[in-house]
Chain A
Amino acid sequence: MIRFSVNGKESSFDGDPEMPLLWYLRDVAGFTGTKFGCGMALCGACTVHKNGEAVRSCSVRMKAVAGSSITTIEGISANGLHPVQKAWMEIKVPQCGYCQAGQIMQAVAFLSKNKNPNDEQIDEAMSGNLCRCGTYQRIRTAIHQAAKEMA
C-alpha cells in the first residue's frame, strides 16, 4: 500500500506501483484537471506539485509518490483565487485551455522560487510546457502580473 496525500487529503493506492501518477490522478482518483498530453514529459500538460516542486505526473511512478504531498490544479484554489489564476483570467490567457492547468502549476512552482523573474527566466522555466494554441506571450505577461501581485 502506497500512502501519500493529494491536495492535503490522505490517500493510498494498492494498484500497480509502476503506474504513473497522472493515471492514478485521472483514472483512479478522478482529478481530471491534470491533463494527458504526451506521456514522455515533453509537453507539461500533466504538471503537478510533488512536495512543492513542479513534476510531470506522466513520468512519476506511483512507487515514487510514497510519503509525498501532491498538489493538483484542484488544490491551488477551487475558486480561481490564487494570484496566478487571477492573472490568467485578467490577461485572458487561454484559448482551448487544455494545457493551462499544467502551465499554471508550472508557473506557481516557479514563482515560489523566483519572486521577481525577468523574461528570460520565465521563458526558461516555462519552455517545457507546450501550448499548441500559442498563448505563450500572454502566459509571460500573466506571470509578470502574478509576481507583482504576490510581492
Chain B
Amino acid sequence: MSNIENVSRRGFLKGAFAAGSFVLGMQTLPHALWAAYAAEAPAVFQPDMYLSIAGEGTITIIASRSEMGCGSRTALPLVVADELDADWSKVKIEQGLADAKYGDQDTDGSHSVRSFFDQMRLVGATGRAMLITAAANQWNVPAKECTTEPSFVVHKASGRKLGYGALAASAAKLPIPKKEDVILKKRSEWRYIGKDNSLYDLRDIVTGKAAFGMDARMPNMLYASVEHPPVLGQKVKSYDDKAALQVRGVKQTVAIETFKPPHHFQPLGGVAVIADNSWAAFQGRKALKIDWDASPHAVYNSEPFRKTLESTVRQPGKVVRNVGDVDAEFAKGGKIIEAEYYAPHLAHASMEPPVAVAEYRDGKVVAWAPTQSPQGVQETIASVLNIKKEDVTCHVTLLGGGFGRKSKPDQVAEAAVLSKKLGKPVKVVWTREDDIQFDFYHSVAAMYLKAAIGPDGKPTAWLQRTAYPPIGSTFDVNAKYALDEMGLGWNNLPFDVPNHRAENGPADAHVRIGWLRSVANVYHAFAIHSFADELANAANRDSVQYLLDLIGPSRIVPLETAPEEQEEARPYPLDTARLRRVVEMAAEKSEWGKRRSGKGHGFGIAAHRSFYTYVATVVEVEVDDNGDVTIPNVWSALDAGTIVAPDNVRNQFEGAASFGASLAMLSEITVTNGVVNQSNFNDYQLVRMNTAPRHTSVTIVESDAPPAGVGEPGVPPFAPAFYNAIYAATGKRVREMPLSKTRLV
C-alpha cells in the first residue's frame, strides 16, 4: 500500500528541501496503520519517503533504512533514481530519522529491497511523469511526445530539452497522477537496476570521512564505559570507586540499575565510569571494586547444558510440521539412520563495538547511534526513562557491521540514562570485551535427525528435532519454545519425503539470546544438510545427484504459513525448480563431475533457501598431515529474484563465505557459572585473510521474480557444505561446530 503526495504544495518544507524544490512524499504504512498515524498527528503530516529536486538540479532521496554493509542505503535510492531517470551523480542521499511514519525501519531479515522495491519504483516513476507533464505544459506539446534522459525531459520532435532542476518549480505545482497513469520503466530500460554500481559512501569510507556511531560527537559530551554484571541479572550490592576516581581523566562514577525481567533491550545495569575520554573511562573501570549479588543465571554451564539439550531432542517435542506418518514408517523396520548435531553460542563481533551518544534535556532525548532499529531506540529509551517515544530523536549513523547485534539498542539506552543523571551529553563506548561478554548471543542448539531408508537409498521417513533457548526469552521469561525461528529452515524442509515431521523441544535461556546473520538457519541448515549428505554417503551415491533426488521433481512445496506472514510470503512460494537450478549451477561452476575427493582433499555441497533466496554452495577443503584445514575455493549459486546491485550481491556472498567459515571452523562462546569465557579476538576467533576461503565465486541466476534477500542467505549453506567436504576429504563425519574442537588426525 502506498500513496504518493506532492509535498511541495504544502507549506512546511525546510532543511534539505529548499523553497522552490519539487518534493514527493510517500506513505508506506499499511493503510489502516497510516490512518491511525494521521489521525494522531494531522498537523505535522509528513509523508515518509522524500524525493526532492532542487532548482539547481540536486536530487535528494531519504534513506529510511540503516546501512550496516549490505548496501540498502545505496540500493533503494538507486531504484528511485532509475525510475525517475535521474542522473545518479546528482543524487544526494540523506539518512532519515527514527519515525513511525516510515513504517518498519528495522534493517534486518534481509528485507530492505524486498519490502520497498515496488514502492521506490513507484515514487521515482511518479516524479518522472510529473516532470514530463511540466515540460510538456511549458512546450505546449502532448506529454506522450516527451521522453527523458538522465535528469532531462526531452522533446525529440523539436529538439528541445529541459533539466529536472529547471522543471522543479512547475512540477511542484502539479497534482499527483493516478497510479494507473504512471508508467514504470520496462526492465530493459533500467539504467542502474541490475547494473554494477558503487556504494554511495564508498569514497568517504576509503578516505576515513564516513561517520560511524563510533565517530559521533556532541558538544561538551562526556565519555562513559560501563562495568556490567558478569552474570545476567546480577545487581550491584556495593562498590568502591576510590581508586577509579584517582585515574587521570575520570570524573565520577554512576550506578545503572539492573533491568527488571524480561530484559528486553533494557540496559544490563552495573557501574559506569565517566571520564573526559574513552580510554580514561576504560582505565577507571579496571580500578573499580564491585560486590555483585546472586543471580539465578549463575547455574549456566555450557557442557552440562549441552547434555540437557541433547537429551531434550532425543524425546518427542512440539510438532511444527507433519506430513504423512513417520512413526508408522519407522515401525516397519528396515534401514534406519540417526544423527545428532550441535552448534554453540556465537557472538556477533561486528568490527564496530556497540556505541552511542545521547543527550537528555527537558524530558527529551537526542541520540546518535549505529542502530538497525531506530524506532527500537525510541521505544527502549522511552520505556526506560518513562518519556514519550516521540520525544526521542534518533539519528542513524553508518553501522560498522551489525549482523543483528545492533537491532538491540541497550547501549543507546545506557547513554540516555547516564545523560539524564549527568545533565550532559554522554557517549557510551563498549570495549571489545564488553561486546563479546555481553552480547545477545546466537543460540546454542542441538538437533536430532532420524530417517528410514527405502530400497532406492532415498528416505521414506524423515524426523527432525531441534532445541535451543529461544529469542522469545528476550521478551518473555517463560519462553522455552521457538517461534519465528521455526520458519528459519525448520518447518519448511524442501525435500521429497512422503513422511516428515519437524519438532521443537523446550530450553531455558540464561544469557541474552538474539538474532545473528541468518539466525536459526545456521544450525538448522547445518543439521539438515549434513544429514542429507550422510544419507547420500550411506547410499553410496554422488552427493549432488542424491541432493537433487532428495529435492525431487519441480513443484511448489505446500507450507503452512502463519496468518500474519501470509501476505508477505505470497509472492515467494517454495519452488523446488529454483532450488534444483542453483544446485545444478553450483555443481557446474565447481566442475563437480570432474572432481574427486579423498586423501585430504574434498568437496562438499549444501543448498538452502532462506529469506526467500535459493542458494547452493560447494566448498573445497584441503586437510594437511597436521589436520589443519584450508579452503581453496567456494562456489555459490543464488537465485534472489530481481537483483538491484549485482556486484554488491557478489560482495555479500563472498563475505557470507567468510562469515560461514568463521562459525564453521573457529568461533564458539562458552559459559562457566553464568560468565562468558571469551573476551576478545584472541579467544573468540574469526577467519583472517590467511584462513578465510581463498577464492569465492558467486553465480547469480538471472530472474525477473520479485527481489528476495541477499544479506543473510549466503551464510546457512556454508557450514554444512564445509563439513560435507571435510567428510569427503577425510572420511570423518563431524557433527559439532566449530571444527576447531575436533582433531582430524
Contact assessment for B353 and A36 in the assembled complex, using a CB-CB cutoff below 8 Å: yes
Contact assessment for A139 and B429 in the assembled complex, using a CB-CB cutoff below 8 Å: no
Assembled-state Cα–Cα distance A88/B680 (Å): 28
Contact assessment for A73 and B207 in the assembled complex, using a CB-CB cutoff below 8 Å: yes
Q: Which of A39, A88, A92, A99 contacts B432 (CB 8 A)?
A: A39
Contact assessment for A137 and B654 in the assembled complex, using a CB-CB cutoff below 8 Å: yes
Contact assessment for B651 and A138 in the assembled complex, using a CB-CB cutoff below 8 Å: yes
Contact assessment for B277 and A23 in the assembled complex, using a CB-CB cutoff below 8 Å: yes
A-contact bits for B298-329, CB 8 A (1 contact / 0 none): 00000000000000000000000000000000
Known interface pairs A97-B201, A98-B352, A132-B351. Does A137 touch B279 (Cβ–Cβ under 8 Å)? no
Assembled-state Cα–Cα distance A131/B279 (Å): 23
Known interface pairs A74-B208, A80-B207. Does A96 touch B400 (Cβ–Cβ under 8 Å)? yes
Contact assessment for B206 and A100 in the assembled complex, using a CB-CB cutoff below 8 Å: yes
A-contact bits for B218-252, CB 8 A (1 contact / 0 none): 00000100000000000000000000000011000
Q: Does B51 contact A (CB under 8 A)?
A: no
Q: Does B745 contact A (CB under 8 A)?
A: no
Q: Does B203 contact A (CB under 8 A)?
A: yes
Q: Does A117 contact B (CB under 8 A)?
A: no
Contact assessment for A98 and B400 in the assembled complex, using a CB-CB cutoff below 8 Å: yes
B351 neighbours in A (Cβ, 8 Å): 35, 37, 43, 45, 96, 98-99, 130-133
New contact pairs (19) apart from A133-B351, A134-B654, A135-B654, CB-CB < 8 Å: A15-B248, A23-B277, A27-B278, A36-B278, A39-B431, A79-B207, A85-B207, A95-B655, A96-B67, A97-B398, A98-B352, A101-B208, A104-B206, A119-B694, A122-B689, A123-B689, A126-B689, A135-B655, A137-B692
A130 neighbours in B (Cβ, 8 Å): 351, 681, 686, 688
Q: Does B131 contact A (CB under 8 A)?
A: no
Q: Does B658 contact A (CB under 8 A)?
A: yes
CB distance from A110 to the nearest CB of B (A): 12
Q: B residues near A, CB below 8 A?
A: 67-71, 198-199, 201-203, 205-212, 214-215, 223, 248-249, 277-280, 282, 349-353, 398-403, 429, 431-432, 647-648, 651-652, 654-659, 680-682, 686-696
Assembled-state Cα–Cα distance A129/B692 (Å): 12
Q: Does A64 contact B (CB under 8 A)?
A: no
Contact assessment for A134 and B659 in the assembled complex, using a CB-CB cutoff below 8 Å: yes
A73 neighbours in B (Cβ, 8 Å): 207-208
**Which of chain B's residues has its CB closest to A125's CB?**
B689
Contact assessment for B651 and A97 in the assembled complex, using a CB-CB cutoff below 8 Å: no
Contact assessment for A43 and B681 in the assembled complex, using a CB-CB cutoff below 8 Å: yes
Q: Does A124 contact B (CB under 8 A)?
A: yes
Q: How large is the interface on A (under 10, 10 to 19, 20 to 34, 35 or more residues)?
A: 35 or more
B652 neighbours in A (Cβ, 8 Å): 95
Known interface pairs A35-B352, A127-B688. Does A16 touch B655 (Cβ–Cβ under 8 Å)? no
CB distance from A133 to the nearest CB of B (A): 5
Q: Does A52 contact B (CB under 8 A)?
A: no
Assembled-state Cα–Cα distance A23/B71 (Å): 30
User: 7 tightest CB-CB pairs across the interface, nearest first?
Assistant: A33-B208, A134-B658, A98-B400, A96-B69, A73-B208, A97-B205, A95-B69
Q: Which of B71, B249, B681 contacts A42 (CB 8 A)?
A: B681
Contact assessment for A138 and B278 in the assembled complex, using a CB-CB cutoff below 8 Å: no
Assembled-state Cα–Cα distance A36/B370 (Å): 14
Contact assessment for A80 and B203 in the assembled complex, using a CB-CB cutoff below 8 Å: yes
A39 neighbours in B (Cβ, 8 Å): 282, 431-432, 680
A89 neighbours in B (Cβ, 8 Å): 198, 202-203, 206
Contact assessment for A94 and B206 in the assembled complex, using a CB-CB cutoff below 8 Å: yes
CB-defined A-B contacts under 8 Å, sample of 14: A19-B277, A19-B279, A23-B279, A34-B208, A40-B432, A40-B680, A94-B206, A95-B69, A96-B399, A97-B400, A98-B352, A128-B688, A130-B688, A133-B655
Q: Does A26 contact B (CB under 8 A)?
A: yes
**Which of chain B's residues has its CB closest to A33's CB?**
B208
B201 neighbours in A (Cβ, 8 Å): 97
B206 neighbours in A (Cβ, 8 Å): 80, 85, 88-89, 94, 100-101, 104
Contact assessment for A28 and B654 in the assembled complex, using a CB-CB cutoff below 8 Å: no
Contact assessment for B692 and A97 in the assembled complex, using a CB-CB cutoff below 8 Å: no
Q: Does A68 contact B (CB under 8 A)?
A: no
Q: Does A38 contact B (CB under 8 A)?
A: yes
Assembled-state Cα–Cα distance A99/B689 (Å): 13
**Which of chain A's residues has its CB closest to B430's CB?**
A36
CB distance from A132 to the nearest CB of B (A): 5
Among A85, A89, A126, A132, which residue has the most Cβ atoms of chain B within 10 A?
A: A132
**Which of chain B's residues has its CB closest to A82's CB?**
B206
B656 neighbours in A (Cβ, 8 Å): 134
Contact assessment for B398 and A96 in the assembled complex, using a CB-CB cutoff below 8 Å: yes
Assembled-state Cα–Cα distance A39/B353 (Å): 11
Q: Does A32 contact B (CB under 8 A)?
A: yes
**Which of chain B's residues has its CB closest to A35's CB?**
B214
**Which of chain B's residues has its CB closest to A22's CB?**
B279
CB distance from A41 to the nearest CB of B (A): 10
CB distance from B679 to the nearest CB of A (A): 9
CB distance from A111 to the nearest CB of B (A): 15
A138 neighbours in B (Cβ, 8 Å): 651, 654
